[in-house]
Amino acid sequence: MPSRAVTGLVLVVVVGVGWGLLAPASKVLFASPGFDGLSLAVARAAWALPIYLLALSVTWRLDPPRLDAGRWAAVIAAGLIFGLLITTLFSVASAHTSVAHISFLVGMSPVTNTAAAAVVFRIALGRREWTALVLGIVGVALLALTHANDRAGIFGDALMVAWLACFAAYACALRYVGARVSTRLLMSMMGVVAMGSLLIAGALAGAGGAIAHVADSAPVAWWFFGEVVLGSMIVGQTAFAAAIRRMGVATATIGAEYTALAVGVIASLGAHERWTPLTVVAGAIFCCALAATFAPIPWLTATERRAA
């Protein structure tokens, strides 16, 4: 295997493990005193912000940005969406629904990102995209049915559906910025805006209680700093950006999401979460939606060939 391919594979695995362990790490922290969904998100911002500020001070000097007003607005919008919405929604949802449900719904992000990009950038949706979207809607409906008598679970799944919409908007904003700024500088700027805005909002809401509890015990410190701050965010986001440069957006996203999905499912089974038959069926449908989006299936690619 060529060294470039090996490097890409390693980066994708790093991203997938970092993203896939975020939900189970959140569950461990929620079982500790001082943590809930909102306070965990604010604590993450408080400890990640200094790292992003340091990275920004270095990358800005190495490669100053040359962006027009519209792209500056897109960077700021991406940061606000990631901090105030994506980070908060995921953290609060993790407190209400299962690791399995979170993993399956996060695995849908390539499908929803593709659909959002088609709308924003005026790209016609083909048979492949419509098939994936329909399968995704069916999967979400089945997951909702597993929580028929569990309002908290339905609330958590609903937050993750909102997370999918916000993540799609975030991806479109980053795509609009384009290659006019280095990936390292872009992620540093976005991280400062995201974590800074979330920390300010959390402080105003009085939700900073968990900041002082991140080192209450060795397991809490390990999961918080090792996974919530570094693994899923600093290392995961940087590795994902590097994977995109080496493998392209589609390949890097597919590899990262499939790896994250596998890690999440394994973590769910390891935690002995209860899986209903509907959960299994919904998971299989989500996998079919991902396959419909990216796999070379003749029936789905027929319209693409005619369009070409």
The mean pLDDT of 78-85, rounded to a whole number, is: 95
Residue 92 resides in a domain = yes
Residue 47 resides in a domain = yes
CA separation for the pair 234, 137 (Å, rounded) = 32
CA separation for the pair 178, 69 (Å, rounded) = 14
DSSP string of 22-78, one letter each residue = HHHHHHHHHTSTT--HHHHHHHHHHHHHHHHHHHHHHHHHHS-----HHHHHHHHHH
Range of the domain at 45: 34-97+148-213
Residue 166 resides in a domain = yes
Structure confidence by residue, pLDDT tens digits, 170-198 = 888 888 887 778 878 988 999 999 999 99
Least confident piece of the model among 30-44, 57-71, 290-304: 290-304
Report pTM. 0.83
Residue 142 resides in a domain = no
Residue 102 resides in a domain = no
Q: Are 81 and 195 in contact (CB under 8 A)?
A: no
Least confident piece of the model among 183-187, 257-261, 292-296: 292-296
Residue 236 resides in a domain = no
Task: Work out how many domains the chain is built from and give that number.
Answer: 1
Sorting pLDDT into bands at 50, 70 and 90, what band is 85?
Answer: very high
Residue 126 resides in a domain = no
Residue 178 resides in a domain = yes
Structure confidence by residue, pLDDT tens digits, 61-81 = 988 888 899 999 999 999 999
